[in-house]
């Protein structure tokens, strides 16, 4: 059973298609694991083993008849609890939406249902994907599988924790200022924020309309590419969706990085904000690996990190407050204290500041995209620090802001967080690989080459 917990999506798909593994057997193994261990991690906000077994039985019957829907047929997954699944509450981890029953599936949930996926449940999040790990909400915060006394990142916290813990091979998260890539960094898994508009957000509770992305969390790069292929595509009913062909994210995964041009944005983590020495060492070691694999590595410069962060903050807080204004006026006491505090910041942003931030955003994005005339991908930090303790609010507030993820919500670029080793404490280190818009396949190709050269993904937390 423990071996089944660490199957990748690609490995499971091969076994399932060949009828060497039963979808029901696979689902039962993961259900048993969740029931045994999640009481210590709180990755699931709503665990749905009955639905999982029903999905697994249908998948098994179809496979036995010779039907095959693709690599997610019979594979378990979870949804961050701001993503609608028909008939279940979408709570956003908040008292305000405790009884908010979804009338239908979000587009990403529908796509995974059509792909034959086995739905395991709704994953813990930060309240409305904004507040941090709070203890004044109806459900406890998720914890880090590598050390449950530590933060697992957020706001897609349960999705990252469950994937790292072997509860699921894949999960859906969302990312407005880094909320897929933060738990990926903290939990030692792979998290992608795709190009803005690549994945429909219809049926997903918004945080900031112009910055929101939906993305996958998995344990390997190949699995992440497979999941993005499954969920991407144009949705004419999502105003932010791009009418552009998607797919082919696994194309060229094995081509390596020889002669690819890699630009390293060192000033983000060495000058603009000094990263923890262990994190810096992990990123620099990763860059050396890419160089040894044949990539042409050079340092590049962008606008200062603080410019991107300030632009992201003004847009995010303004748009978030616009969404929550009615509840903030009528039910402020029903928010957790941290969410309420963060939302209130948006009430004090002037319209002129918001408009100017959107203009600055365009200039920042254009300048960043222009860098790709001379490089193929960029590499930089994701988090500046390894995970801190979850019971230290000052440390969480300090480290949460120390990141280089927000720039790529501003630019809309595809940005992938991948494991880059472990610190002395045994907690994961990570780096970020970024491409120009619609270059996900190339980003995955670089990440896969690094992953294969290092083998960090073969290491798993021990809490048996």
What are the residue numbers of the active site? 80, 155, 179
DSSP for 362-374 reads HHHHHHHHHGGGT
DSSP symbol at 80: E
Which residue from 258, 282, 280, 259 is spatially nearest to 271, judged by alpha carbons? 280
d(CA 35, CA 28): 10
Look up residue 210 and give its two tokens: 């112009």
Cross-strand bridge partners of residue 296: 261
Which residue from 386, 157, 164 is spatially nearest to 281, judged by alpha carbons? 386
DSSP for 392-413 reads -HHHHHHHHT-BS-HHHHHH--
CA 223 to chain centre: 13
Strand pairing report for 296-299 and 213-218: unpaired
d(CA 439, CA 99): 40
Look up residue 171 and give its two tokens: 């999960």
For the chain, percent helix, then strand, then coil, each to nearest 5?
45, 15, 40
CB under 8 Å to 39, separation ≥6 — which residues? none
Q: What is the dihedral of CA 306, 193, 181, 238, to 10 degrees?
A: 90
């Amino acid at each position: 059973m423990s071996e089944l917990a660490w199957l990748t999506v690609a490995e499971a798909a091969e076994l399932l298609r060949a009828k060497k593994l039963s979808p029901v057997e696979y689902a039962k193994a993961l259900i048993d694991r969740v029931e045994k261990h999640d009481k210590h991690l709180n990755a699931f906000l709503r665990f749905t083993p009955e639905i999982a077994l029903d999905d697994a039985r249908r998948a098994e019957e179809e496979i036995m008849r010779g039907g095959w829907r693709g690599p997610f047929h019979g594979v378990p997954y979870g949804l961050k609890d701001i993503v609608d699944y028909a008939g279940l509450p979408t709570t956003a981890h908040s008292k305000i939406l405790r009884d908010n029953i979804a009338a239908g599936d979000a587009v990403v949930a529908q796509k995974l249902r059509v792909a034959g996926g086995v739905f395991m449940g709704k994953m813990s999040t930060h309240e409305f994907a904004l507040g941090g790990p709070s203890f004044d909400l109806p459900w406890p915060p998720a914890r880090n599988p590598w050390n449950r006394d530590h933060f697992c990142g957020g706001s897609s916290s349960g999705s990252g924790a469950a994937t790292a813990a072997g509860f699921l091979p894949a999960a859906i998260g969302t990312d407005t200022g880094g909320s897929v890539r933060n738990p990926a960094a903290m939990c030692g898994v792979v998290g992608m924020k795709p190009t803005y508009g690549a994945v429909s957000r219809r049926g997903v509770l918004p945080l900031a309309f112009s910055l929101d992305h939906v993305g996958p969390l998995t344990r390997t790069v190949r699995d992440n590419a497979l999941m993005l292929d499954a969920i991407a595509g144009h949705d004419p009913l999502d105003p932010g969706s791009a009418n552009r062909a998607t797919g082919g994210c696994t194309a060229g995964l094995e081509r390596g990085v020889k002669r690819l041009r890699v630009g390293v944005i060192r000033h983000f983590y060495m000058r603009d904000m000094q990263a923890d020495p262990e994190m810096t060492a992990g990123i620099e070691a990763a860059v050396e690996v890419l160089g040894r694999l044949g990539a042409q590595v050079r340092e590049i410069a962008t606008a200062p990190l603080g410019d991107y962060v300030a632009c992201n903050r003004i847009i995010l807080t303004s748009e978030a407050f616009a969404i929550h204004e009615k509840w903030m006026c009528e039910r402020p006491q029903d928010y957790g204290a941290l969410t309420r505090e963060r939302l209130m910041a948006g009430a004090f942003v002037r319209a002129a500041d918001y408009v100017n931030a959107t203009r600055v955003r365009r200039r920042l994005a254009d300048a960043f995209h222009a860098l790709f005339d001379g490089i193929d991908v960029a590499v930089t930090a994701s988090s500046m620090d390894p995970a801190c303790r979850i019971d230290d609010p000052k440390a969480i507030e300090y480290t949460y802001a120390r990141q280089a993820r927000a720039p790529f919500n501003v630019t809309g670029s595809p940005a992938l967080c991948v494991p880059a080793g472990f610190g002395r404490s045994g907690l994961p280190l990570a780096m970020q690989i970024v491409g120009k818009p619609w270059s996900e396949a190339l980003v995955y190709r670089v990440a896969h080459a690094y992953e294969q050269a290092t083998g960090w993904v073969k290491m798993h937390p021990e809490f048996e």
